[in-house]
Amino acid sequence: MLKSNFKFYLFLINAMQNVLIKFFQTYSKTEAPFMHQQLTEWSATRPLAGLRILHHVPVVVNTLLKIACLLEAGADVTVTNPSDFCHAHPQAVASLKEANISYVETPLSLVGEKFDLYFDCGAQLYQFLGSPKIGAIELTGSGDYFYRHHDLDFPVISIDRTLTKQLETVLGCAESTHMALTKLTEIIPSETSWIIFGFGKIGRGVAYFCNQNKIPVVVVDICEKQRGLAKNLGIKAINPKNFNDLECALIEANVVITATGKKAILNDYPHSWFSGKILANLGVYDEFGPHFSEDEVLNHKMPVNFVLEDPTPMKYIDPEFYIHNLASLMLLKEKLVNGVYGIPDEMDQSIIQRWCTYHAFPLDQIKLWFYDPNR
């Protein structure tokens, strides 16, 4: 009986590996060198053996490589999706089920269950389920903010303030926003003018796209420092409280992008200012607010890049997946007191330099466009 159970267990493991490992052929080592490296290393060392993990990151096809690395590390992984701002990709869900990996549509149904580690997004797992046994690794700015403003009885590693994260939010966002708008509209970018609400990591990415394609762009940001950073890059920046300047800028604009990370930021302005324009949200919240219907905003107010099979091209999110997984080892190896921690600068800088080498990308462009939170 024990022998037959063991054989069945090996069958399940092999089935899981075969289903997910094939995606490492879809995304080659040239495109995803960090994921390929982690898979190789963790298959040998199995640093997460015996740990129960809850993985709450948008479930799209390229996320399967990240999950496969955790499984190869020996973890027992349950997968959920932050469905309030993005739908799980059907092919990714089908692959998880084919591989006999637990996929739970509603995280709240897990109330009462205990997990060693959370791979969290928006601090949602903590809000839904309470504390993990060991700690959490947070992916996003909204989650970073939430965790830092609450008294915690466990340690959290946040990757949000890394330069590695900005490979996704700046360079990846630049490419995916263009791809999404091209898919959903018939615009020719060179014939348009854009306004971006928010000049954080994501807004900066949209501005980078406009700059690289010589598209007229105006940034709107409440923070004087952020407006100054935009102006240093040669981008016109407006205070959102300056109604006259904002109205004039909107008259000239064809495309309006929201990327502030806050809800309903357009409530104070007349709806008519936005009529006839292409409206798109890139934040996790509904930034347009109740005065705008879902039909008025691309992708029904959800982040517009999530209309794509891969919301961020693999080459840009590959190192982010790598560092989000790798941060779990900090929780296991270091005796961290309760609270929120960042990624060590030397680790972050090393990944950036390696990424630039892999993809022949000029490091000076990183230094020019990426925002260093330590400055």
CA 346 distance to own-chain centroid: 22
Q: How confident is the model at residue 303 (pLDDT cuts 50, 70, 90)?
A: very high
What is the per-residue pLDDT for 72?
Answer: 94
In eight-state DSSP terms, residue 370 is: S
What is the per-residue pLDDT for 278?
Answer: 97
What is the per-residue pLDDT for 124?
Answer: 98
CA-CA distances (angstroms) from residue 328 to 19, 142, 297, 333, 347?
A: 24, 20, 37, 9, 14
Residue 116 has pLDDT above 80, yes or no: yes
In 3D space, the residue among 268, 247, 194, 197 whose CA is nearest the CA of residue 226 turns out to be 197
Residue 372 has pLDDT above 80, yes or no: no
Structure tokens at 140: 């996003």
State which amino acid sits at residue 2. Answer: L
Q: What is the pLDDT of residues 222-264, one digit of tens each?
A: 999 999 999 999 999 999 999 999 999 999 999 999 999 899 9
Q: How confident is the model at residue 149 (pLDDT cuts 50, 70, 90)?
A: very high
Q: What is the pLDDT of residues 278-291, one digit of tens each?
A: 999 998 899 999 99
What is the per-residue pLDDT for 1?
Answer: 46
Q: Mean pLDDT across the stretch 309-335? A: 97
What is the per-residue pLDDT for 7?
Answer: 52
Where helices occur in 159-307 by DSSP H, the ranges are 163-166, 173-184, 201-212, 224-232, 243-252
Q: Mean pLDDT across the stretch 216-225? A: 98
The segment(s) of the chain belonging to CATH 3.40.50.720 are 170-307
The CATH superfamily of 170-307 is NAD(P)-binding Rossmann-like Domain (3.40.50.720)
pLDDT mean across residues, the chain: 94
Percent of the chain with pLDDT over 90: 88
Q: How confident is the model at residue 84 (pLDDT cuts 50, 70, 90)?
A: confident
What is the per-residue pLDDT for 2?
Answer: 47
- Higher-confidence residue of 335 and 52: namely 52
What is the per-residue pLDDT for 350?
Answer: 98
What is the per-residue pLDDT for 186?
Answer: 86
Which of 2.60.40.1930, 3.40.50.1480, 3.20.20.100, 1.10.3720.10 would CATH assign to domain 2-164+313-369? 3.40.50.1480
What is the per-residue pLDDT for 16?
Answer: 61
What is the per-residue pLDDT for 177?
Answer: 93
Residue 12 has pLDDT above 90, yes or no: no
Task: Report the alpha-carbon distance of residue 101 to residue 323 in Å, rounded.
Answer: 22
**Angle (nearest 5°) at CA 46 between 45 and 50:** 150
Largest CA distance in the chain: 78
CA-CA distances (angstroms) from residue 137 to 41, 117, 150, 327?
A: 20, 8, 15, 7
The segment(s) of the chain belonging to CATH 3.40.50.1480 are 2-164+313-369
What is the per-residue pLDDT for 9?
Answer: 40
Query: Out of 124-128, 299-303, 351-355, 369-373, which region has the weakest mean confidence (pLDDT)?
Result: 369-373
Q: What is the pLDDT of residues 326-359, one digit of tens each?
A: 999 999 999 899 999 999 999 999 999 999 999 9
What is the per-residue pLDDT for 6?
Answer: 43
